[in-house]
Structure 1
Amino acid sequence: MPPGQAGEVMLRVQPKARPFTGRTRSYSFQVQVLAGEDDIERKQGMIEVNPRFPTWAMWLIPVLSIFTCLGLVFGGRQYWVYRTGVRQTATAVAIQTTIAQFTPTPEATGTPLPDTPTPDLQGTQSFIDSQNANATAQALAAENVATSTALAVAQQTLSAQQTEQAVQAQQTVSAQQTQNAAVAQETAVVQTVAAQTAVAQTAEAQQTETAATQTAQAATATATALARLVAHYPLTTDAADVTGKQDSMTLTNAPFQNEGVYCNGVYPQSGDPNPCTISTPNLNEFNFNSFSIQVQFNADEFKRMPVVVGGRSFRWIGFELNADGSISLLTNNSNRESCTGAYQPGEWHTALLTYDGAVGRLNLDRILRCSVNFSLNHNNDRDVSVINYSNATIFKGHVRELYIYNEPIVPILIISPGILVTVVPPVISP
C-alpha cells in the first residue's frame, strides 16, 4: 500500500472453540503490520467467545428433567390402569359369551332342549387369570422401563449439574488463587517497602550516631588542639596573640587591609626605604618534633616567593610559591620538594605545614599535596615569618589567621577569621 493511504484488509481469524457452558470470555490478539523494512507496528484487538448455553439456562435443564420424569411415571401408571380396565372388560365379555354359548335356550314351542354337557368354568377362569398375569407383567415391565428412563435422565441431569458445579468451582478456585496471588504480591511489596524503610531508618540512625561520634571526637580534638595551641595571630586588626601565651608579632610596613595584613614584597636588607617584616617572636614552649603551622594567604602575583618559613638562620621548614603557579615544600634551609596543587593570585588559600618527628607534610586548601622524610635541623630558631633569609626572598600579598600548634593536625574545615580550626585526633609523637 503506498505511504499516506489508508485501506481495509480482511483478515481470517481462527475463532476459539466455544465452551459448552460458562460466561462470555474475551481473548486478546495482535496484528503485526510491516510498515517498512524494519518498522513493525502492532495493533491489539479483542474477540469475545460466547458459550453454547449460558449459565442461567443450565438451571432449567434439571427442572425440565424432573418434570419430564414425573410426567413419564404418572403417565405410565395411568396407562397401566387403563390397559388393566380394558383387559378386565374384555375378559368379562368373553366369560359372558362363553356362558351364553353353553347355556340352553328354550324353543319357541316351550319344549326343553336336550341335555348338554356342563361347561368347564374352572379352565376358563385359569385362562382369564393367566391373561391378567401376563397383562400385569407387561405393565410392570413398561413401568420399569419408564422408571429406568427417568433415572437415566435424572442421572444425566445430575451429571450436567455436577459438571457445571465443577466448572464453577474451578473458576472460583482460579479467581481465589488470582486474588491470593495479588494479595501475596501486594504483601510482598509492602514487606519490601517496610524492609527498605527499616534499612533507611537504620542507615539514618547509624549516620546520626556516626555524626554524634564525630562531633564528640571533634570536640575532644578541638579541646586537645586548644591545649596544644602555641599561638594564634588573627592579623586582622592588630599583631597580638589571642591565647596570651606569646608576645605580639613584629610588623614593619605591613598595614591591615582586605581582612588581613599586607606585605609589599620588599626584602628587609634590600636597601629599599620601605622594607616589609612580618614575623613572630621566638615562641615559648615550641616542640620541634611535633608541630603544625597554618596560615591563610592571598598572593598579589605569580612569583617565586615564600609564604611562611620557620627559623631565621636555619630555615628548618617552609612553604614556597613558584612563578608557574606550582608550590613547594622547603626543608632544612634549601631542600625543596615539588608538590601537587596550585595557587591563584587574588584568591585566599589555606596552607598547613606539619611535622611528626620523621615526616614533613604540606596541605593546601585541606588537601595533602606532598610529604618528605627528613630529620629537622633547627639550631633552636623558634620564630616564624614570611621571609626566607637564605635567598633574600619575601612574600608579597596578604596573610592572616596564623596558627601554631605543638601537634601535627589534620584540617577538615577552612579557617575563617575569628574561628579556630577543627581537627581530628592525630598521631602525636612522644
Structure 2
Amino acid sequence: MTSAAVPDHPWLLPGSLAGAAGRSRRTTRDWLVDSLCFLLGLGWVLLVTADAAAPDPEFATPLPQRWMVPVDALLGLVCCVLLWVRRRWPLGLAVVTLPLTAFSLASAVPLLIIYFTVVVHRRTAVALGITAAGLVTNFFFSYLRPDPHLPYWVATVWGVVLSLSVLAWGMFVRARRQLVVSLRERAERAEAEQQLRVTQARHLERTRIAREMHDVLAHRISLLSLHAGALEFRPDAAPEEVARAAGVIRDSAHAALQDLREVIGVLRAETAAEEDPERPQPTLGDLPALIEESRSAGVRVSVRDVVTAAEQVPVAAGRSVYRIVQEGLTNARKHAAGAAVTVDVGGGPGDGLTVEIRNRWPVGSVTGPEIPGAGTGLVGIAERVSLAGGRLEHGRDDSGDFRLTAWLPWPA
C-alpha cells in the first residue's frame, strides 16, 4: 500500500493499517458493517441471477446472452468477497473493478459499496476521478444491459443520478467524520493545555513559597544566631537577660520549625490544595511587630513612617514592603552586627510607596561566628519588586552607608 493511500486521519478509516506491520485492526463495529455489506451484496447477486434466469419471456435474458447469467453471477460473488478487504485497498479495488460497471448487473451493489468507501476515505480529487470514470462506463452499461421498461437515455440518467447520490452521501460522511476528529483533537489539546497551566501554576506557587520560606527563615534564624552569640560572648550576663534571650531563642526556633513544616508539607503535596495552606501573609500593618522583634534582639532600629492613608495600601504592596524591611534587617544583623539601622517608609495613593533601609558599613572583620546565608535574599526581593512593577536599588552610597531602597506603585 503506497503512502498516497493512507487516510488523512486514522480514525477516518475504521479498518486502517495498524503500525508499520501493515496489519488491519478490525473492531466489532467494523465486523458488523462488513458483514451487513456482504449480505446486501450477496442478496443482490442472488436476486439479479434469479430474475435473469426466470422463465417469464418478458423478464428472461435472450438466448444469445444466456451465457452471461452465470458469468455475471460469478463476478458478483467475487465482488462480494472483495468487500472484506475494501478497507485496506479501496482505491485499488475501485480501479480494478471499474470495467465491471460497464456490463455486470450482479456486481452493482458490491461495486457501489467499494465506490462509497473510496469517497469516504480518500481525497476529494481521487473520488471525483473515480466518479468521472464510472459515469463514462455508465453509458456502455445501458447499451450492453438495456432495461426492457426504460429507454436508453432514461436508464443512463438514472445511473448518473445514482452515482452522484452516492458521491454526495460519501462526502457528507467524510466531512462529518473529519469534524468529529477535529473536535476531539481540539478537546484533547484543550485538556493538555489546561494540565500544562495547572502544572505551571503549581510550579510558580512552589517557587513563591520557597521565596517566602527564605525570607521568613532567614529572618528568624538570624535572630537565633544573634541571641546565641550574645549568650556565648556574655557568659556572666544577669540571669534575667539569659532567661529573656533563651525565651526569644525558643520562640524563634518554634516559629521557624512551624514555618518549615508548613512549607515542606505544601511542597510534598502531589496536587494543589483548594484552600490556601499558609497562614495569613504579613501586611504593612505588621511592620511595627517586625521592628519590635528586631529591637528585642538588640538591634538599634529607628523608624520614620510617613505613609498617608495607610489603611488603603494594596495588600500586595504592603506585603512587599514588609518583606523588603525584613530582608534589610536580616542583612544588617548578618553583615553589620551592632550597627544602627534606620527604616523610612513613605508614600501615598498615586505617588507610590517608598521604603529605605540604611545602616553603617561594617568596619574591620566580623567579631564572632558569621551567620550563614544563601546569598539570594536580595535576588528574591528584586524579583518581587520587578513583578510588582517597581524599582529596587541597593549598595554603598556616597556617605559610606549601605542603602537598600525600593519604590512600589500605588494607584490613586
Query: TM-score category by the smaller chain?
Result: under 0.3
Q: Normalized against structure 2, the TM-score is what?
A: 0.28
Question: Greater Rg, structure 1 or structure 2?
Answer: 1
Higher normalized helix content (fraction of residues): 2
Higher relative contact order (CA 8 A, sep 6+): 1
Higher normalized strand content (fraction of residues): 1
